[in-house]
């Protein structure tokens, strides 16, 4: 069977292999076995995923203990705020821990009020109520996604008898954000409003917020009024405008001088005054065109009375030369004209002042500097009054860039090492298997190709090949590493040359005769041609 044949070949190789080869094979087998076992353990290691985050150290200790009792592997972060279990057991762990009331919802809050005893003073009751309010607000803030933990302190002044002595409450908040999380201005304002509306009489201006490193997030005195009317909103709009302008100009400068050879700085001041302009424009119309608004007429006549009587007569001047009476008639007509009224409201945000400073590396040629200044001046519409551009060449400090490049290279190396470490067990297993296969194959091949030990016929007149036989008084032996031993040849097909020798008699054949017989066997056609020529001669 093939398996037995392979085992037989392996056993034969092992018997004929040298000691160093055997040691190498044994070590390779041990390493291969160790790699297989390590790979199996590595593959069996579960993939842990967080099941609870932002928990207190006491809750994480309780959760870890209960999970271990239920046979669920658990890992707790160094800070104690993150508890992880294998990915396939996340839901099971959450269900079991929620049944045990873990993790706890946070500080006691208003449930603290039910734990008060009898006989408390008014000051103790007020203090307990304040602490419960702080804890309730703290629990609410901690439920926000960016916030990992929070502490709230509220200062409520005593009630004053006189209104002039009345003081307003204030609040201080400390936030610990989740790794990599940041709060936007809207989120900060939301927390401020949440706290101010939770405490009676607390105004947003009386709230202060800092992070876990004491950096201010919201300073007391800030107004939450939105729009461009507040100083904070105005400054924010100016910074946003300057940043947009800086990115545009920086891109143009980089295209001209190259990446990292320029630094653009922009300072902008915007005018937030709202201006309303009104204008009326009249357009005349042609004669007797347009809509008639009013019309007035008057008639004046002079002449003698119609009949006699005592009525006075008009002077003769009222009659013309022909003797007719005088008459004057006037008509006035008023028409509408084209009237256009305009009310223009200029939106706030006009640029009141814009200063652009460009720092350029000394390695940049002067003609390129001039082109950069010209391009930036054209982009912002520089007029050397409201909009100004200044370009200066300085020697850039490349140490920070080199450090950043080294950090990037270190990070890339770490990623490659992590990837190599991840797949190293499989790679090592493959390498060991290939090396072991090559060693075994080479040694087995060498064992099969070893020459047969020299044969000699002791007591005979010659040493023959492995199939040769000496005289009847001789004995076939092998001369090898183990000395002289008797040789027992395996049965093989008879040699055609030696099979013809007994017909010649008992005497020892001559070497020439053996050569002739061998030539006849190898090339019978040439031997036949030679015999024909001999016969023709005779």
Digit-by-digit pLDDT tens for the chain (538 residues) are 567 777 777 777 777 777 777 777 788 788 777 777 777 766 666 778 888 776 777 788 888 888 888 888 888 887 677 888 888 888 888 888 877 777 765 666 666 676 666 777 888 888 888 888 898 898 888 888 888 888 999 998 887 777 777 888 999 999 988 877 888 778 888 899 989 988 988 888 899 999 888 888 887 665 544 444 355 567 778 888 899 999 999 998 999 888 888 999 999 988 877 777 888 777 766 666 666 777 888 887 766 555 555 555 555 445 555 555 667 788 887 777 777 788 887 777 788 889 999 999 988 999 999 999 999 999 888 887 889 999 999 888 877 777 778 888 888 888 787 777 777 777 777 777 777 777 666 655 555 444 444 444 444 444 444 444 444 444 455 545 554 555 555 555 555 555 555 555 555 666 677 777 777 777 778 777 777 777 776 5
Report the alpha-carbon distance of residue 125 to residue 112 in Å, rounded: 11
3-class secondary-structure state, position 408: helix
Q: Are 425 and 42 in contact (CB under 8 A)?
A: yes
Phi and psi of 358, rounded to 5°?
-120, 120
Query: Quick one: which H or E segment has residue 392?
Result: strand 387-394
Q: Count of alpha carbons within 13 Å of 29, Cβ hemisphere only?
A: 7
Q: Give the tokens for residue 65.
A: 């203990």
Q: Output the six-digit token pair for 309.
A: 């009587």
Please tell me the predicted confidence (pLDDT) of residue 326.
67
Strand partners, 280: 341
Omega of the bond leading into 103 within 30 degrees of 0 (cis): yes
pLDDT value at residue 239: 87
Distance CA 33, CA 25 (A): 12
Instruction: Report the largest interatomic distance among the alpha carbons of the chain, rounded to a whole angstrom.
Output: 210
Beta-bridged to residue 455, according to DSSP, are 478
Query: Can you give the pTM of this predicted structure?
Result: 0.34
Residues 6+ apart with CB under 8 A from 201: 168, 169
Convert 330-381 into a string of H (helix), E (strand) and C (coil). Answer: EEEEEECCEEEEEEEEECCCEEEEEEEEEEEECCCCHHHHHHHHHHHHHHHC
- Give residue 357's pLDDT: 92
For position 249, what pLDDT does the model report?
92
Which H or E run includes 300? strand 292-302
pLDDT computed for residue 354 by the predictor = 92
């Amino acid at each position: 069977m093939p398996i037995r044949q392979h085992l037989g070949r392996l056993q034969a190789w092992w018997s004929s292999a040298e000691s160093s080869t055997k040691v190498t094979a044994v070590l390779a087998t041990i390493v291969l076995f160790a790699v297989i076992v390590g790979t199996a353990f590595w593959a069996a290691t579960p993939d842990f995923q967080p099941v609870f985050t932002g928990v207190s150290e006491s809750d994480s200790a309780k959760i870890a203990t209960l999970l271990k009792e239920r046979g669920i592997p658990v890992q707790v972060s160094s800070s104690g705020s993150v508890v992880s279990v294998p990915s396939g057991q996340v839901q099971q762990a959450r269900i079991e821990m929620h049944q045990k009331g873990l993790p706890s919802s946070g500080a006691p809050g208003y449930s603290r009020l039910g734990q008060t005893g009898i006989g408390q003073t008014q000051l103790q009751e007020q203090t307990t109520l304040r602490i419960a309010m702080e804890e309730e607000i703290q629990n609410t803030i901690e439920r926000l996604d960016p916030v990992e933990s929070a502490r709230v302190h509220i200062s409520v002044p005593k009630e004053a008898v006189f209104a002039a002595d009345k003081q307003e409450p204030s609040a201080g908040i400390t936030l610990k954000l989740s790794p990599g999380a940041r709060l936007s201005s809207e989120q900060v304002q939301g927390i401020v409003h949440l706290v101010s509306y939770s405490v009676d009489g607390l105004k947003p201006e009386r709230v202060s917020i800092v992070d876990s490193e004491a950096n201010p997030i919201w300073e007391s005195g800030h107004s939450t009024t939105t729009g461009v009317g507040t100083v904070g909103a105005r400054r924010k709009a100016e910074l946003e405008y300057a940043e947009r302008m800086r990115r545009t100009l920086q891109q143009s400068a980089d295209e001209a001088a190259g990446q990292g050879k320029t630094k653009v700085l922009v300072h902008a001041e915007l005018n937030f005054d709202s201006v309303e302009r009104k204008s009326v424009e009249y357009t005349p119309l042609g004669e007797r065109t347009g809509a008639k608004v009013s019309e007035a007429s008057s008639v004046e006549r002079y002449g003698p009375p119609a009949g006699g009587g005592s009525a006075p007569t008009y002077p003769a001047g009222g009659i013309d030369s022909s003797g007719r009476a005088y008459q004057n008639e006037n008509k006035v007509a008023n028409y509408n004209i084209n009237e256009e009224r305009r009310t223009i409201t200029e939106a706030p945000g006009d640029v009141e002042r814009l200063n652009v400073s460009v720092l350029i590396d000394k390695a940049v040629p002067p003609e390129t500097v001039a082109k950069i200044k010209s391009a930036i001046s054209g982009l912002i519409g520089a007029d050397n009054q409201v909009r100004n551009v200044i370009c200066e060449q300085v020697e850039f400090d490349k140490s920070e860039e080199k450090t950043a490049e080294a950090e990037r290279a270190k990070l890339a190396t770490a990623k490659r090492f992590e990837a190599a470490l991840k797949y190293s067990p499989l790679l090592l297993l493959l390498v060991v298997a290939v090396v072991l296969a090559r060693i075994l194959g080479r040694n087995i091949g060498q064992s099969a190709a070893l020459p047969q030990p020299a044969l000699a016929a002791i007591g005979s007149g010659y040493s023959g090949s492995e199939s040769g036989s000496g005289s009847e008084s001789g004995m076939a032996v092998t001369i090898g590493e183990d000395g002289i031993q008797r040789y027992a040849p395996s049965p093989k097909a008879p040699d055609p040359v030696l099979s013809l020798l007994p017909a010649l008699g008992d005497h020892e054949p001559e070497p020439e005769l053996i050569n002739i017989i061998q030539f006849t066997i190898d090339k019978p056609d040439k031997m036949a041609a030679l015999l024909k020529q001999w016969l023709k001669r005779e």
